A and B are shown apart, each in its own frame.
Chain A
Amino acid sequence: MLKIENLHADVDGKAILKGLSLTINPGEIHAIMGPNGAGKSTLSYVLAGRPGYEVTDGSVTFQGEDLLDKEPHERAAAGVFLGFQYPVEIPGVSNVQFLREALNAQRRLRGEEPLSGGDFLKRARAQADALGLSMDMLKRPVNVGFSGGEKKRNEMVQMGIIDPTLAILDETDSGLDIDALRTVGHGINTIMRKPDKAVLLITHYQRLLDYVKPDFVHVLAAGRIVRTGGADLALELEREGYGAIAA
């Protein structure tokens, strides 16, 4: 589904990713772990197409197409979802409007009929209920006045409504208490653990992996994947620290 080969990327002229390769097949959940500054967030932004993140070498194909050739909104329509580490507040635009616009823009680009207001609200309500976010909150401006945990839940509600093929979740677990972590973990499993979908979980800590069991764990250090293993690797990292393994 996703094939990253020898990816090099710069931010502000500074090389952050230095030859990263990774293949994700349908039905798989991959976790990328690594110390601060390893390039974890850069990877997620490069995959989503954030301006200012310049690919200097390598390739990324998604479903057989060149992902790097697409604009961010085209990547979304192709099925890529980025869950933000720091979800952005957008005063004056309600969640409901934002998501309906987003979903229908994607559908238009894929040549599908837009979803009616009623159908959209039904879908939104189901996802909000599942993730413990009230419809009242969905009617409020995007992330404005939301706590850290609520913002992360909102990311998952958005993911549920948009129903992507590949979810890249950048430190979705940060800022969550244990209950919220469980809810979010359950959300990821419900929405994304399907034979035709895949997840790239970017995380600093092991604890989310208690709820979302990865098929593969990769260690990212200094812009490259230095080690790959199964779910056990996360536990080993937790026990021994990045220093020993990334060295």
Chain B
Amino acid sequence: MSVLTLPSTREEAWRWSDLSGLEALSAAHATGVAADLDSHWIGDGPRLLFVDGRLDAGRSRPGPVTVGTVDAASTHPLARLAGGDGWTLAVHKDGATPPGAIEIVHVATGGASHVPARIVMAEDAQASIVETYVGDGWANRLTRIELGRSARLMRAIRLVQGSGFTSLRDEAVLGAGASLVTTILGAGAGGSRLDAFVTLDGAGAYAEHGGALLARDSQRHDAAVVVRHAEPEGTSRQLWRAVADDQATTSMAARVEVARDAQKTDGEQSLRGLMLKRTATVNLKPELEIFADDVKCAHGATVGELDAQALFYMTSRGITPDRARALLTQAFIADALSRIGDEPVRDAFQAAAEAWLEERI
């Protein structure tokens, strides 16, 4: 790539972003050598390994997923870079992916990779996808999601990269009665920008988008999510937990838009931040834009520190201060991870969060 045009922090939607490292990551060369990845697979279902954005066919068994040119494009400042080859999952009417989840591991080995994906689910189809980001480099992804009537998609995304940057852009359109549940865990050491635009485009659709982002050192996580209720009787939940330690910054901007016709919308945002040190920063921005008059939209945003009384109570019972902090932080993010329906996946995500806390605190 010759010249990278990136949004500036002067733009409201990017004010908390730190894209300063992307220029260098774009210019860097990937080594292409992916270390041992076995520990990242959770189940025995279909799996795809992308090394620097290219499928490693020898270590993949794509099942229902096809790899090739993807019919997806975006005008999003980062996602527009994600053209060319990627992966597509199409699930036909009443179809379901194999039991367990489809697992996709993205390894970056130092450079930048831009990969589009498309998930198309017909009426009453069901699927569960787990994506894991590891390695060092810039992984930039665009995921287009189209859910037909009453289709159900569960997504769980785990960021555990050692360094670099992960930028994800989801653009999802949900039909009547469709359900999309996306849970993101940031428990690596790289930066991130997590963008999503979810449109509830049929009556009675259901969308959840949230997760837990843990940041330390000078790391920065930045989530910007818009859920748009375009049709009536939709339900949306945005439950985010932001944790920041050291000089790190975790930012979350979550927006709910309710169109004039989207009566009986039930929207809820719960944004909570936890600062493990006073040098850390948590930015939370809940936004509501409501044009319908018969809706229920709740939002809450709070930032705090660990409860000193609880810490003393725990240490007075013999738990070390470090462990007490880890347990309380784990408890703080538990709500967000509990949204993952598949138990082995939830366990794996909890273990990743615990590993972060153990290493850190």
| CB 8 Å contact bits of B309-322 with A (1 = contact, 0 = none) | 11011111111110
CB-based contact B318/A109 at 8 Å:
yes
Given B310, B315, B323, which contacts A72 in the complex, CB threshold below 8 Å? B315
Contact residues in A for B310 (Cβ distance below 8 Å): 88-90
- Which chain A residue lies CB-closest to B311? A51
* Number of residues on chain B facing chain A (CB within 8 A): 22
Query: Which of A1-9, A91-99, A190-198 is near enough to bind chain B?
Result: A91-99
Sorting the interface of chain A by its residue count into under 10, 10 to 19, 20 to 34 or 35 or more gives 20 to 34
In addition to A90-B313, A93-B327, A158-B317, 20 A-B residue pairs with Cβ atoms within 8 Å of each other are A48-B316, A49-B315, A49-B316, A51-B308, A71-B315, A71-B321, A73-B315, A76-B315, A76-B316, A77-B318, A82-B316, A88-B309, A92-B331, A92-B334, A98-B314, A98-B317, A102-B318, A102-B319, A105-B323, A109-B318
B332 part of interface (Cβ distance < 8 Å): yes
CB-based contact B321/A73 at 8 Å:
yes
CB-based contact B313/A101 at 8 Å:
no
A91 to B331, CA, bound (A): 7
What's the minimum C-beta distance from A50 to chain B, rounded to whole angstroms? 5
B303 part of interface (Cβ distance < 8 Å): no
Contact residues in A for B328 (Cβ distance below 8 Å): 90, 92-93
**Interface members, chain B 327-343 (any A CB < 8 Å):** 327-328, 330-332, 334-335
CB-based contact B319/A73 at 8 Å:
yes
- Which chain B residue lies CB-closest to A94? B331
A87 part of interface (Cβ distance < 8 Å): yes
- Which chain A residue lies CB-closest to B322? A73
A138 part of interface (Cβ distance < 8 Å): no
- Which residues of A does B touch, CB under 8 Å? 48-51, 71-73, 75-77, 82, 84, 87-93, 97-99, 101-103, 105-106, 109, 141, 158, 162
A162 to B314, CA, bound (A): 13
CB-based contact A72/B331 at 8 Å:
no
Given A50, A92, A102, which contacts B330 in the complex, CB threshold below 8 Å? A92
What's the minimum C-beta distance from A108 to chain B, rounded to whole angstroms? 9
11 interchain pairs, CB-CB under 8 A:
A49-B316, A73-B317, A73-B318, A88-B307, A90-B328, A98-B327, A102-B314, A102-B319, A105-B320, A141-B331, A162-B317
Contact residues in B for A98 (Cβ distance below 8 Å): 314, 317, 319, 327
CB-based contact B327/A101 at 8 Å:
yes
Contact residues in B for A162 (Cβ distance below 8 Å): 317-318
A76 to B319, CA, bound (A): 9
A192 to B327, CA, bound (A): 29
A34 to B309, CA, bound (A): 25
- Which chain B residue lies CB-closest to A107? B318
Contact residues in A for B317 (Cβ distance below 8 Å): 73, 76, 98-99, 102, 158, 162
A109 to B318, CA, bound (A): 9
Contact residues in B for A48 (Cβ distance below 8 Å): 312, 316
What's the minimum C-beta distance from A38 to chain B, rounded to whole angstroms? 22
- Which chain A residue lies CB-closest to B312? A50
Given B313, B321, B327, B334, which contacts A84 in the complex, CB threshold below 8 Å? B313
A141 to B323, CA, bound (A): 17
A225 to B334, CA, bound (A): 47
6 nearest A-B residue pairs (beta carbon): A92-B331, A76-B318, A106-B318, A102-B317, A88-B313, A72-B315
- Which chain A residue lies CB-closest to B333? A92
A93 to B327, CA, bound (A): 7
What's the minimum C-beta distance from B305 to chain A, rounded to whole angstroms? 13
CB-based contact A105/B313 at 8 Å:
no
Contact residues in B for A141 (Cβ distance below 8 Å): 331
A91 to B307, CA, bound (A): 11
A106 to B314, CA, bound (A): 12
Contact residues in B for A89 (Cβ distance below 8 Å): 310
Contact residues in A for B335 (Cβ distance below 8 Å): 92
What's the minimum C-beta distance from B54 to chain A, rounded to whole angstroms? 41
Contact residues in A for B319 (Cβ distance below 8 Å): 73, 98, 101-102, 105
A51 to B312, CA, bound (A): 8
Contact residues in A for B307 (Cβ distance below 8 Å): 88
A161 to B308, CA, bound (A): 24
Given known A-B contacts A84-B313, A88-B309, A88-B313, A73 and B331 have beta carbons under 8 A apart:
no
What's the minimum C-beta distance from A26 to chain B, rounded to whole angstroms? 21
Contact residues in A for B321 (Cβ distance below 8 Å): 71, 73
- Which chain B residue lies CB-closest to A86? B309
CB-based contact B320/A73 at 8 Å:
yes
CB-based contact A87/B313 at 8 Å:
yes
Contact residues in B for A92 (Cβ distance below 8 Å): 328, 330-332, 334-335
Contact residues in B for A76 (Cβ distance below 8 Å): 315-318
